[in-house]
Amino acid sequence: MDPSQLLKGSLDLAVLAVLAKADSYGYDVLRQLRSTLWSELGDASVYGTLRRLLTAGALSTYIVPSETGPHRKYYALTDAGRRELEDGRKVWTTVATGMDLLLEPDQGRWHEHVRR
């Protein structure tokens, strides 16, 4: 199964979660997501998600000058972004718990849940 389809609807949440840990720049966000979620995650998907969240007001940016390389554009969560992350976390927990249950090989647990 292609993980990109699974990630499609949850990339916003993943990007917000990365930036909730620390402000970061685009390529670093990509690197963290590749090491955590999927090594073949597309650069354009992450860059596009950052742009969309920025336009929606969930992120703000600031420039960090560098003497050795190019200046970095850092992304940070706004208050709206933090609220979106919290809402997303609740939805994710519900869906993930349900999916875990559906995928549980032990039929007994499943029947017990349905009977309840």
Q: Which residues bind another protein (CB under 8 A)?
A: 11, 25-27, 42-45, 47-52, 54-55, 61, 69-73
In single-letter form, the type of residue at position 34 comes to R
Of the pair 71, 83, the CB lying nearest another protein is at 71
Helix (H) or strand (E) holding 63: strand 59-64
Q: Are 16 and 87 in contact (CB under 8 A)?
A: no
Of the pair 42, 82, the CB lying nearest another protein is at 42
Of the pair 40, 106, the CB lying nearest another protein is at 40
How far apart are alpha carbons 22 and 26 in whole angstroms?
A: 12
How far apart are alpha carbons 25 and 66 in whole angstroms?
A: 13
How far apart are alpha carbons 56 and 79 in whole angstroms?
A: 12
Of the pair 45, 78, the CB lying nearest another protein is at 45
The minimum distance between CB 91 and another protein, in angstroms, equals 19
Q: Are 46 and 33 in contact (CB under 8 A)?
A: yes
